[in-house]
């Protein structure tokens, strides 16, 4: 494994809403990147910015570090372990860093399979949405060994404002589940409350300004209410991704015999939004569930 602080060629797989700006930030700091994604247009955009493109096996063969940020854990495992996958050509001492939102079991499975090849693994999911990815201010939650975390720190410093090693492999994924339960439940409660206020005749913008400096204020309130009143559901974090994450929360909690009544109800709210075609909306669009119940829209005054 390379020395702490040293940066070599990095494979970066997953150029979606989060991955593309994260990869661009690495390029802007002169990190040598080889990229891959199913979206050829996204690959071309990164190549124009200075990256090389490569197949999974080329990335495994040429890169000492491989970063993944893809929709779910099964995709991570396919990319790594299917025939023609990255792991076929990874060298002993290489690092795989999965920044996707997956279950701790999926993270540990990847780590165990890679360990047989003397390849290191760290799970490092992120929070901060598209704005954090663009601005390089993501919160990065890590599970793995200290030396692997230290080797990844230069990249984490470019992509995020904080990176914390929580514990062993899987700990980052557990922390992301906690984060997603809090964020999505908070959006739901904020949505329900603002639907109540709007139905009662209060201007939601003025309600927001009145409460944001008090105990009800939060990063979620500041991020989502301005979008909601503008009816702007362009995704920074799609309901589809959060639907998947909350399903992971529920499944993990049930496997551990942890009752989670609020989050279980939240999953059904997200399932209802799925049925009504809102999966590609930003998760601020959770408000639409409560709006439909009350037959009112939280929006700017005319």
The residues spanned by each domain of the chain are: 10-169, 175-294
Among the options 20, 176, 224, 244, which is catalytic?
176
Predicted TM-score (pTM) of the model is 0.88
- pLDDT for the residue 6: 52
Number of other CB atoms surrounding residue 78 within 10 Å: 14
Cα gap 214→160, rounded to integer Å: 28
Domain 175-294 is found in CATH 3.30.590.20: no
Give tens-digit pLDDT for 136-181.
Answer: 999 999 999 999 999 999 999 999 999 999 999 999 999 999 999 9
pLDDT given at position 236:
82
CA angle at residue 250 from 272 to 237, to 5 degrees?
60
Residue 187 near residue 286, CB atoms below 8 Å: yes
pLDDT band at 2 (very low <50, low <70, confident <90, very high): very low
Give CA 16 to chain center in angstroms.
11
Pairing mode of beta strands 10-13, 65-68: parallel
According to CATH, the topology of domain 10-169 is Rossmann fold (3.40.50)
Reply yes or no on whether 176 is catalytic: yes
Residue 3 has which token pair?
A: 């020395």
């Amino acid at each position: 494994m390379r020395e702490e602080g040293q940066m070599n060629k990095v494979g970066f797989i997953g150029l979606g809403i989060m991955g593309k700006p994260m990869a661009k930030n690495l390029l802007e700091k002169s990190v040598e990147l080889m990229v891959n994604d199913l979206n050829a247009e996204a690959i071309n955009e990164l190549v124009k910015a200075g990256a090389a493109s490569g197949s999974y096996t080329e990335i495994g063969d040429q890169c000492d570090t491989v970063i993944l940020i893809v929709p779910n854990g099964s995709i991570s495992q396919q990319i790594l372990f299917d025939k023609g996958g990255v792991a076929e050509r990874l060298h002993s001492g290489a690092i795989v860093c999965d920044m996707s939102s997956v279950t701790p079991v999926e993270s540990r499975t990847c780590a165990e399979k890679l360990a047989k090849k003397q390849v290191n693994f760290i799970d490092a999911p992120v929070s901060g949405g598209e704005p954090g990815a663009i601005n390089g201010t993501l919160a990065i939650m890590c599970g793995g060994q200290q030396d692997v975390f230290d080797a990844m720190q230069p990249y984490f410093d470019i992509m995020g404002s904080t990176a914390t090693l929580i514990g062993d492999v899987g700990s980052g994924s557990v922390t992301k589940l906690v984060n997603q339960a809090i964020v999505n439940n908070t959006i739901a409660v904020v949505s329900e409350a603002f639907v109540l206020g709007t139905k009662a005749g209060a201007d939601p913008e003025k309600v927001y300004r009145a409460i944001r400096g008090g105990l009800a204020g939060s990063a979620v309130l500041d991020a989502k209410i301005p979008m909601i009143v503008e009816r702007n559901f362009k995704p920074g974090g799609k309901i589809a991704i959060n639907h998947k994450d909350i399903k992971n929360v529920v499944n993990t909690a049930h496997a551990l015999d942890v009752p989670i009544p609020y989050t279980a109800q939240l999953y059904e709210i997200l399932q209802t939004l799925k049925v009504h075609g809102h999966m590609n909306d930003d998760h601020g669009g959770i408000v639409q569930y409560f709006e439909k119940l009350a037959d009112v829209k939280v929006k700017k005054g005319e």
